Each structure stands twice: as structure tokens, then as C-alpha cells.
Amino acid sequence: MTANVMVIVERQFDYPRQVVFRAWTAPEEMAQWRGSPGWHVEAETVTSDLRAGGRHHHVKLRDNDPSVRVTTDAVFTEYFEPDVFVARQRITGDPGIDPDRPLELRVEFTKMGRDGTLLRIVQGPYDAEVAGFHSKGWELELGRLQEFLDRTAGGVR
């Protein structure tokens, strides 16, 4: 199999870029929303050194079976707050991802209108057989991000 598919997911949020960027980069915020439904991030595992060359780490657990763990270790290759960050990732524990083949994650935050943010995720390369599954996972996680922002940043609009 050849990993040659990039997953691209976009969603617009009615919150300022700085608010959305912080939800992605502040460990205490990220731990509250990351993970598709049925998964959660183990809060005490989240670490981020927010700069180019800085490291990031988190572990996702399956809610109904905490022995199922997916670990992400990454190094930021670009970091420009609040516009974009890029990380080279090593993901272990996900049967659809070869832990010996690094992924790149690029997350862009584009100002839209007065206080909106267009979020664009580009991640890969994936094998074609699993790319759709991971694209759907990002869509579900962004739904959780929307709920988190509505709950915590509702007055910031």
C-alpha cells in the first residue's frame, strides 16, 4: 500500500482566530474537546512547547475500553500564532496508521468577516483505504470543538 492521500477538512467558526487557535494549542483547552465521540484525551498527558521545534504529546483513550490508547508525539515545524501551525507526527496505537511513517498535520486559521475563523486541516499522507475514516474522525472532532467553543467562549463572539 502507498500512503499518498492527504485529508483536507474545513469548517467555519463564529469565533475570533485567537479563541479558536487557543482551543487547539492550550493543553487545558485541547484536553476538553479533542477526540471523536467515544474517545477522550487523557488530560494529564497533554504537553505542548508552543514554538517551532517544540514538542507536543497527547494520548486518546476509548471511553468504553481505556486500554485502547492512541498516542500522538509531534514536533512543530512551523508555529505562527494565530495563523498556522504545522507538526510532524508519530501516531501509535491506531491500526490504520503505520507508526514508522510520519504524518504531517497543518492547521490554518483564517480570519473571516468581522470575528469568524475558517479552520483548515491538512493531514497525511494516508493509505487510501483509511483516509475517509480519518476525514470523518476530524469532522466529528470539529463538532466537539464547536460545542466546546459554544460552552466556553459564547460571550466572545
Tell me the per-residue pLDDT of 69-91, one tens digit each, with 9 for 90 and over.
999 999 999 999 999 999 999 99
Beta bridge partners of 120: 10, 108
pLDDT at residue 2, as a whole number: 72
The boundaries of the domain holding residue 66 are 3-156
Q: What is the pLDDT of residues 59-72, one digit of tens each?
A: 999 999 999 999 99
What CATH number is attached to the domain comprising 147? 3.30.530.20
Dihedrals φ, ψ of 42, to 5°?
A: -75, 105
- Domain total in the chain: 1
